[in-house]
């Protein structure tokens, strides 16, 4: 089966391509680095020739409200149109757990718009909603921080390894369309402030983690269960401590 992975040279995409290849699929990495640009449409018709499935794990280079909305809507419209022309039979997209529960968040709102376009398309689809990645711990900590403190809300938090995300996405791409979504999350649920207190200490980050119920997550205040699955979820296998032990430069 030919499976084209949009964003296939990035953190998740490169792992998805590798996993699909290991299972005998013709996995093609598509990104601006390979001459495929979903924002302009460049290279889409060519790369999708003969494709059975398309996996979209691309991400916006900017999280500014207009930029992130324009990225996900424009790229998805272009991609779905090209897929229709190529006869693609399955569209898989990676999204975020909690999008519908924090729709005022600029990033979540853009992902919701993307999902709506996919759901309204004629192409059978599967949505994979993932929790936050271990690899983004520093970026999340930096979002509500100054030189000496990191402010974190005392809410449920269930991050996971990119490796486990890629496994779930690849498995979904190899199967029949769900015409719905699955939720995936890490193997252990934490309190967000407690997790970051532990994670930053492991990185020898000197900043103090301050518990603050009004701390924002990329512009919005999360509620108790905003960032974790509301119902049944597929859990990853990799614990944070085990993942951390494999990182060569965990402080970066």
Please give the pLDDT value at position 204: 93
The Cα angle at residue 104 between residues 180 and 223, in degrees rounded to 5: 85
Cα 218 from Cα 66, distance rounded (Å): 14
DSSP 99: G
Please give the pLDDT value at position 250: 52
- pLDDT band for 251, please (50, 70, 90 cuts): very low
Length reported for the chain = 252
Q: State the average pLDDT over residues 106-129.
A: 97
Average pLDDT of the chain to the nearest whole number: 95
Cα 41 from Cα 23, distance rounded (Å): 29
DSSP 188-202: --EEHHHHHHHHHHH
**Beta-carbon contacts of residue 70 (< 8 Å; ≥ 6 apart):** none
- pLDDT band for 218, please (50, 70, 90 cuts): confident
- Surface-to-core class of residue 31, CB atoms within 10 Å of its CB (0-12 exposed, 13-18 middle, 19+ buried): buried
Please give the pLDDT value at position 144: 85
Query: Does residue 34 register a pLDDT over 90?
Result: yes
pLDDT tens digits for 165-216?
A: 999 999 999 999 999 999 999 999 999 999 999 999 999 999 999 999 999 9
Query: Does residue 103 register a pLDDT over 90?
Result: no
Structural domains of the chain ordered from first start: 2-133+159-188+225-238 (3.40.50.720)
The Cα angle at residue 182 between residues 53 and 191, in degrees rounded to 5: 135
pLDDT tens digits for 18-33?
A: 999 999 999 999 999 9
As a whole-number percent, the residues of the chain with pLDDT over 90 amount to 92
Please give the pLDDT value at position 212: 96
What is the number of alpha carbons within 13 Å of residue 223 lying toward its C-beta? Answer: 12
Q: State the average pLDDT over residues 96-118.
A: 95
Alpha helices in the chain (DSSP H): 11-22, 44-47, 65-86, 106-120, 137-143, 162-174, 192-202, 240-245
Taking alpha carbons only, the member of 69, 127, 132 closest to residue 103 is 69
Query: Does residue 153 register a pLDDT over 70?
Result: yes
Expressed in percent and rounded to 5, the helix, strand and coil fractions of the chain are 40, 20, 40
- Surface-to-core class of residue 82, CB atoms within 10 Å of its CB (0-12 exposed, 13-18 middle, 19+ buried): buried
- Surface-to-core class of residue 54, CB atoms within 10 Å of its CB (0-12 exposed, 13-18 middle, 19+ buried): buried
Q: State the average pLDDT over residues 70-96.
A: 98
């Amino acid at each position: 089966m030919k499976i084209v992975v949009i964003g296939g040279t990035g953190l998740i995409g490169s792992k998805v391509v590798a996993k699909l290849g290991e299972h005998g699929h013709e996995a093609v990495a598509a990104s601006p680095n390979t001459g495929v640009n979903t924002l302009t449409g460049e290279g889409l018709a060519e790369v999708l020739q003969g494709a059975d499935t398309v996996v979209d794990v691309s991400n916006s280079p900017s999280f500014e409200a207009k930029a992130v909305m324009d990225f996900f809507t424009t790229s998805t419209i272009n991609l779905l149109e090209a897929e229709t022309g190529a006869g693609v039979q399955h569209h898989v997209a990676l999204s975020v757990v909690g999008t519908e529960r924090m729709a005022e968040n600029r990033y979540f709102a853009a992902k919701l718009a993307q999902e709506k376009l996919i759901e309204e398309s004629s192409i059978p689809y599967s949505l994979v909603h993932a929790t936050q990645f271990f690899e983004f711990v520093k970026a999340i900590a930096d979002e509500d921080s100054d030189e000496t403190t990191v402010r974190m809300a005392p809410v449920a938090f269930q991050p996971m390894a990119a490796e486990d995300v890629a496994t779930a996405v690849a498995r979904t791409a190899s199967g029949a369309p769900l015409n719905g979504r699955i939720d995936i999350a890490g193997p252990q649920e934490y309190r967000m402030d407690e997790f970051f207190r532990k994670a930053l200490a492991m990185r020898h980050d000197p900043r103090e983690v301050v518990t603050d119920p009004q701390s924002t997550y990329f512009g919005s205040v999360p509620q108790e269960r905003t960032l974790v699955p509301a119902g049944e979820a597929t859990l990853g296998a990799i614990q944070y401590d085990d993942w951390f032990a494999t990182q060569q430069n965990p402080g970066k």
